Amino acid sequence: MTTIRLPTARPPGTVLGAAPQVAESADAYRATGGYDGATGPEELLAHLAASGLRGRGGAGFPAAVKLRSVRGRGGSPVVVANGEEGEPGSAKDRWLLRARPHLVLDGLARAAAITGAVRGFVYLSDPAAGESVRRALAEHPPRLPVEVVETGHTYVAGEETAVVRRIDGGPALPTAKPPRPFERGVGGEPTLVSNVETLARIALTAARPGLRRVIARSTLVTLSGGPATPLLTEVPYGITLRTLARRYGTPDAAGALMGGLFGGLVDARALELPLEPGALTDAGTALGCGAIRFLAPGGCPVATAADAAAHLAAESARQCGVCVSGTAAVAKALSGLAAGTAGPDTADSLLRWSQGLTGRGACGLLDAAAGIAGSLLRSFPGHVRSHLAAPCPVCADAPNQDGRRRLAVAVPEVASPLTASASGTPVPALKGTP
């Protein structure tokens, strides 16, 4: 089970809150300044622009720019809280919806006020999160009509055009772009699709504008991969990956799988990099959704790459022929490399795919597969050569199970608030798939 660690020094503007193991009630949220109307929409937008807050869904797009793009389109805008985190190594969004639903809903309402939206949606696949959000809506009914839309949990279901398509009654599958949701989204209207952590930070900024820079430059990270249980914590930008590895319990990590699956593999030298979106991008990797899987000493990066590619191939939406064939080819090659059955031209094929597949799918899944292949060749060329020369003893001793399961991270446990129903019966703990 994933654990939560509170930062040593916690400013008032922390997303984790004071009691992250218990679902926050409306009264508890209001007691911390939540739902306060002192900061108006225009003032809040100015604070967001000045703070440099970026989205936490993976792309890292400036929040203020995204809000303005919807507001300036006219029509009857729509706002969506996107809580469908498809990355297997991430647990932050489902935890937020389970533990701090009022923080997310407050952020959604404020985004609606900025954009002029007339209705909102909370989009998710976790039953426990859905239960928590519905209870929060009943506790504090918003002025904005808000509907909870559930979907199946897949890698592509959280892509913004898939979100729009599902809310409009279709399958949760990506569509060709343009148009993008801010141009024509739910019901044909301009639509803001915003990650739930982004909305949480918008609400925190409204409550504590004096801490806007701290709020914008802190982020939730999900750490996994070593012998310790996965860890969800909040850290400031600028902290090094090495420091995070020590905190997690893998001080001698051989590298990491970054950004869920989108940031690819990095070697031990990259652990000196700061957790800063720009610095990571310049180094050829990405923060993405904040999921970091450390490679334990003695582990094999080829096995990790094979697990990641297998997951992507299985999760393909199967709408784009190049994605179906490309992800399958990368997965097969990496599986053969890990098993010691790869042919001598495998490295050349992986290099060709890493360079030629990027940007050819309707969503980022094919890009992630290409990135996994390319980053393995860049960061661990010696491992690739040794696997081509002889079977790897580490891979041979790996448990005989679906490698995709090794990448999965469970949501930290969240207890229900200590309230009672009308009959006096205690409210049961939240239930749902991990």
Distance of CA 384 to the CA centre of its chain: 29
Q: What is the mean pLDDT of residues 144-172?
A: 96
Concatenated DSSP letters of 34-95: TT--SS-HHHHHHHHHHHT-B-SSSS--BHHHHHHHHHTT-S--EEEEE-----TT--HHHH
Residue 423 — very low, low, confident or very high, per pLDDT cuts 50/70/90?
A: very low
CA distances from residue 321 to 166, 171, 303, 330, 416 in whole angstroms, order as listed: 22, 18, 26, 14, 45
Across all residues in the chain, what is the average pLDDT?
91
More confident residue, 430 or 179: 179
- Residue 312 near residue 242, CB atoms below 8 Å: no
Q: Which residue spans within 93-134 are E strands per DSSP? A: 119-124
Q: Is the peptide bond before 179 cis (omega within 30 degrees of 0)?
A: yes
User: How many Cα atoms are found within 13 Å in the side-chain-facing hemisphere of 74?
Assistant: 0
Q: Rounded to two decimals, what is the model's pTM?
A: 0.93
Question: Using CA atoms, how far apart are residues 102 and 29, in angstroms rounded to an integer?
Answer: 7
Confidence of residue 420 (pLDDT cuts 50, 70, 90): very low
SS3 425: coil
Residue 432 has pLDDT above 80, yes or no: no
Closest CA to 115 of 21, 41, 220: 41
Structure tokens at 298: 């003695």
d(CA 150, CA 170): 12
Q: Decide which of 329 and 426 is more confident.
A: 329
- Whether 433 and 126 have beta carbons less than 8 Å apart is answered as yes
Distances (CA, A) of 101 to 47, 178, 215: 23, 32, 18
pLDDT given for residue 26 in this prediction: 96
% of the chain surpassing 90 pLDDT: 78
pLDDT digits (tens, 9 = 90+) for 2-49: 898 877 666 677 999 988 999 999 999 999 899 998 999 999 999 999
pLDDT, tens digit, for every residue of 337-346?
999 999 999 9
In this model, does residue 316 exceed pLDDT 90? no
Between 395 and 213, whose confidence is greater? 213
Stretch among 64-73, 321-330, 419-428 having the lowest mean pLDDT: 419-428
Is the pLDDT reported for residue 428 higher than 90? no
Q: Domains in the chain, please, with CATH?
A: 3-215 (3.40.50.11540), 301-397 (1.20.1440.230)
* C-alpha R_g of the chain: 21
- 400 pLDDT exceeds 70? no
Q: Is the pLDDT of residue 418 over 60?
A: no
What is the spatial distance between Cα 56 and Cα 332, in angstroms, rounded to a whole number? 31
pLDDT in tens, 73-115: 989 999 999 999 989 999 999 999 999 999 999 999 999 999 9
**Res 8: pLDDT:** 66
Q: Does residue 422 surpass a pLDDT of 60?
A: no
pLDDT, tens digit (0-9, with 9 covering 90-100), for 270-305: 999 999 999 999 999 999 999 999 999 888 999 999
Average of per-residue pLDDT across 126-153 = 96
Both tokens of residue 360? 């050819």
Quick one: average pLDDT of 390-413? Answer: 81
How high is the pLDDT of residue 18?
85
13-22, 147-156, 217-226, 394-403: least confidently modelled range: 394-403
**Residue 433 — very low, low, confident or very high, per pLDDT cuts 50/70/90?**
very low
pLDDT of 381 higher than 50: yes
pLDDT tens sequence across 163-220: 999 999 999 999 988 999 999 999 999 999 999 999 999 999 999 999 999 999 999 9
Q: Which amino acid is at 270?
A: A
CA distance 35 to 46: 19
